[in-house]
Structures are given as C-alpha cells and as structure tokens.
Amino acid sequence: MPKNLRHKIVLGGKLLIIFLLIMVLEMQSNNMVLNAQNSNLNKQVDLKSLAILDMSTIEEVKQEEVIENPKIESVMTGYVYNCPACSGKLACDSSIDLTNGQINYNDQTYGEVRIVASSKNLECGSIVAIKAEKLGSEDILAIVLDRGMTGNKLDLLMPSEEEAHTKIGRTPITYEILRNGY
C-alpha cells in the first residue's frame, strides 16, 4: 500500500474517532441540560432576591394580595337600539338582536348584567361596576358589547329614548373594571 494512501486512511480514521467523540459529548451535554430543566419544572426564579421559590409559595402570596381596581371618573349617556346611528346589532357580538327591546345580557360569571357601549379602551366582554348617584346607591353591573364612545365614557343601553334622556342624560359616574375582556 502506498505511503500516501496509508497516511490518508489513518487521518480519516482519526477524524472519524474525533467526530464520534464529539457526537457522544454532544448527546451527554443535551442529556445534562434536559435533566437540569426537568428537575426545575415547578420552580420560579425571583429576580429581586435571586432565590428559587416553590410555585406553591407564589400562589399563597397571590391569594394574600388584595388588588384594588382604580376607579375611573367619567360621564355616562343612554342610547337605544334604533338610534339614528345604530343598526340594532352590537359591535362586539352582532348575533344579538336588540330589536326585541333587550337591554340586559346573561353573563356566565356575573349573571344578568346591563349592556354598555364604550370606546376601544375597554375590550369587548369587559365587566364594569358603575356608580351613578343619580341612578341610586347600588352599582350597575354592565358588560361592554357595543362601541361608539370616546375616551372613558360609557353609553348605557336603555329601553326607550325617553328613558335615555330623562333617567340618564349626561350623568357623572365612577366605574371600575371587574373583568377585562371575556
């Protein structure tokens, strides 16, 4: 066998051994990473203290926190399904037909709530608790199912134009968001 060919075979063998060693090391490295990840699936890193906390501890802290929604001061008006700019359909759910005088919506979580229009500041399906002294001491629970307002204003769906003008008009309100979107 020529010396040059023998040299190439030896070199090829050495490269093959190096390649196989690299593959074995790569597989062991991947396995070590997977083992490290698997042992920490139920852990979370608290970057403030750089400590690893158990997820059950975090859930206890969340339950103890009392999150208070900010109260938004605004103005509420009233509207009816057949106003000049209205189609009788709701912008957030056009399958609901308002021509039968419907002003309430049955929400799975909050039950029977009023329907309001808002700007896109509130997502469709958001639930708000409206406090309007002019309308009594109890909060009005409402769901955002329509659009057409600007800023933080709300427009409460009413059974008649007369009630929209006499009972609501332009009423100062305070409201808080109980649920953001569906």
* Domain 72-179 bears CATH identifier 2.40.40.10: yes
Of 75, 78, 100, 98, nearest to 87 (Cα)? Answer: 98
β-bridge partners, 142: 114, 128
Of 69, 102, 18, nearest to 93 (Cα)? Answer: 102
Top pLDDT among 5 and 37 is at: 5
The reported pLDDT for the residue numbered 55 is 53
Hey, what are 181's tokens? Answer: 């979107």
Range list of H helices, 80-182? 161-163
pTM passes above 0.75: no
Can you tell me the mean pLDDT for 161-167?
91
Residue ranges per structural domain of the chain: 3-64, 72-179
β-bridge partners, 166: none
Top pLDDT among 55 and 14 is at: 14
